[in-house]
């Protein structure tokens, strides 16, 4: 019989005990404790000092009798005092030479992380690990539908490893489960199966976008900082796929099959097939694409549960008869406080945005004239292609320079067009406001207010993607 202050064979007892750590720190329980050195040691401290486990290198889950894993993960505070996810949730290291032939059920992720006790704490780089404040205790069981998508993600990653392509892995390859980089630049590459080429160290991880949705659920449903998702039946967000669909097909196959009947059809033909009225809106091509992707059941697929959890983003692209892209591609407004606070490129919001997967819906100009409800006319486009895309590593290096330029200018309080990359430069990306929010102002981390500016892909860059990569 254990002398621990909870029943290690009862998950409810473990969870109830964990609640004692909410709004407290480890030093409150062990005032005389000595801190462990090294990154990632907070979880070990919680195991040893709070849960009374001796440190070891066991392969099974931390709470082995109930098959639940302990995870400590940081939150950060925005300028408006809102709690935000700081980083992806790393689950376990990938062993390229040992994991390549493991089924999903044999994987460390499946065996350890289906149920997790997630202890969210407030990030404070100046504080001792013993003084970090815990905010939420969350008993999280991966929902059935999420697990179906994660299984497909695992297969995608492990297929590359099995084929000797571990060095080509990217977090953009998958939806919820990622293979994130671990270790510092310049570290030696790891040997991999079926190839002489070394590969950077990577770990199984739940993506930042996925953890953001988990946190949203926790913030809205916690009781005194504690939350368990076991009893949640109704999803809190609109959903794009059913469990039955996901049992039969991958997300990619489902989406491509939904678009297939409309390939080669013009905008008006698509509207007729969907039984919807044509629109005069500038976003009319996104509107019809959204109806197709979401089967008419969601307002915006990019805000659906599955898209937000995975970071998958649908973008429409219009190509003129000359091959010129109709317009540059915009993203979200720059969060200057986030840029100001973030010291590492791989921890940045921009890195997350640009390493996510994209669903590009491509329309090409025809000879037809489209008569709009507002009385105006314009060239009509037809659906030409639908494809998934992930930014190549070489382009991510340019993106890092782009982010570094933005961050340095934010630090220097040079938040103005003349300091940022512009659209005329042949550098893939630029910074400018969206037309409709050109006058919008937001808080400047240096003090005062400043104009909102936005992340953009250059037209030429989008043209290259369409012509050469899709």
Collapsed DSSP state (helix, strand, coil) of residue 356: coil
405/440: higher pLDDT = 405
| Confidence band of 438 (pLDDT split at 50, 70, 90) | low
| Confidence band of 58 (pLDDT split at 50, 70, 90) | low
Cα 109-111-117 angle, rounded to 5 deg: 75
Strands 441-443 and 429-432: unpaired
Q: Please give the average per-residue pLDDT across 22-51, as a whole number.
A: 85
Q: Please give the average per-residue pLDDT across 420-442, as a whole number.
A: 84
**Close Cβ partners of 415 (under 8 Å, ≥ 6 residues apart):** 336, 409, 444, 450, 451, 453
DSSP at 278: -
Beta bridge partner(s), residue 450: 442
Check: CB of residue 204 under 8 Å from CB of residue 89.
no
Q: Residues 306-357: pLDDT tens digits?
A: 999 999 999 999 999 999 999 899 999 999 999 999 999 999 999 999 999 9
- What's the token pair of residue 316? 């429409």
Q: Please give the average per-residue pLDDT across 33-52, as a whole number.
A: 80
> Would you say residue 35 has pLDDT above 60?
yes
Q: Please give the average per-residue pLDDT across 432-445, as a whole number.
A: 78
Strand positions, DSSP E, 190-259? 190-192, 195-199, 202-206, 226-228
CA distance 388 to 258: 14
Strands 89-93 and 202-206: antiparallel
Can you give the pLDDT at residue 54? Answer: 76
Portion of the chain with pLDDT greater than 70, in percent = 95
> Would you say residue 93 has pLDDT above 60?
yes
Q: Please give the average per-residue pLDDT across 59-83, as a whole number.
A: 90
Q: Please give the average per-residue pLDDT across 36-47, as a whole number.
A: 76
DSSP at 30: -
DSSP state string for 229-240: -TT--S-SS--S
Q: Give me the domains of the chain, ranges plus CATH numbers.
A: 11-228 (3.40.600.10), 243-468 (3.40.600.10)
Can you give the pLDDT at residue 1? Answer: 38
Can you give the pLDDT at residue 440? Answer: 81
> Would you say residue 65 has pLDDT above 60?
yes
What is the C-alpha radius of gyration for the chain, rounded to an integer number of angstroms? 24
How far is it between the farthest Cα atoms of the chain? 81
């Amino acid at each position: 019989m254990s002398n621990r202050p909870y029943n290690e064979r009862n998950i409810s007892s473990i969870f109830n005990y964990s609640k004692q750590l909410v709004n407290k720190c480890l030093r409150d329980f062990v005032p005389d404790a000595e801190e462990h050195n090294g990154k990632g040691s907070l979880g070990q401290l919680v195991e040893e000092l709070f849960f009374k486990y001796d440190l070891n290198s066991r392969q099974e889950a931390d709470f082995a009798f109930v098959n639940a894993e302990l995870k400590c993960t940081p939150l950060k505070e925005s300028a408006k005092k809102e709690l935000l996810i700081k980083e992806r949730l790393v689950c376990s290291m990938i062993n390229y030479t040992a994991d390549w032939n493991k089924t999903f059920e044999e994987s460390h992720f499946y065996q350890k992380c289906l149920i997790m006790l997630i202890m969210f704490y407030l990030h404070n780089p100046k504080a001792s690990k013993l003084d970090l404040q815990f905010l939420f205790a969350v008993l999280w069981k991966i929902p059935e539908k999420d697990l179906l998508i994660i299984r497909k993600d695992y297969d995608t990653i492990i297929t590359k490893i099995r084929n000797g392509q571990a060095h080509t892995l990217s977090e953009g390859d998958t939806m919820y489960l990622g293979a994130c980089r671990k270790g510092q630049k310049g570290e030696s590459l790891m040997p991999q199966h079926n190839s002489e080429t070394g590969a950077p160290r990577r770990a199984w991880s739940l993506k930042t976008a996925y953890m953001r949705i988990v946190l949203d659920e926790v913030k809205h449903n916690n009781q005194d900082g504690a939350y368990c998702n076991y009893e949640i039946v109704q999803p809190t967000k609109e959903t794009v796929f059913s469990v039955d669909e996901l049992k039969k097909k991958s997300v990619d196959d489902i989406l491509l099959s939904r678009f297939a009947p409309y390939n080669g059809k013009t905008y008006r033909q698509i509207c007729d097939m969907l039984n919807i009225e044509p629109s005069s809106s500038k976003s009319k091509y996104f509107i019809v694409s959204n109806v197709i992707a979401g089967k008419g059941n969601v307002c915006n697929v990019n805000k659906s549960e599955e898209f937000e959890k995975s970071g998958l983003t649908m973008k429409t692209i219009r190509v003129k008869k000359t091959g010129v892209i109709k317009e540059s591609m915009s993203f979200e407004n720059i969060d200057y406080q986030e840029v100001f606070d973030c010291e590492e490129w791989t921890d940045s919001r921009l890195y997350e945005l640009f390493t996510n997967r994209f669903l590009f819906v491509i329309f090409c100009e025809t000879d037809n004239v489209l008569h709009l409800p507002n009385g105006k006319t314009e060239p009509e486009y037809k659906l030409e292609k639908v494809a998934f895309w992930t930014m190549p590593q070489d382009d991510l290096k340019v993106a890092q320079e782009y982010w570094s330029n933005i961050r340095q200018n934010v630090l220097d309080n040079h938040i103005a067009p003349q300091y940022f990359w512009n659209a005329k430069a042949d550098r893939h990306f630029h910074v400018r406001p969206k037309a409709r929010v050109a006058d919008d102002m937001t808080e400047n981390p240096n003090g005062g207010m400043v104009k909102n500016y936005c992340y953009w892909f250059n037209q030429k860059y989008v043209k290259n993607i369409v012509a050469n990569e899709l």
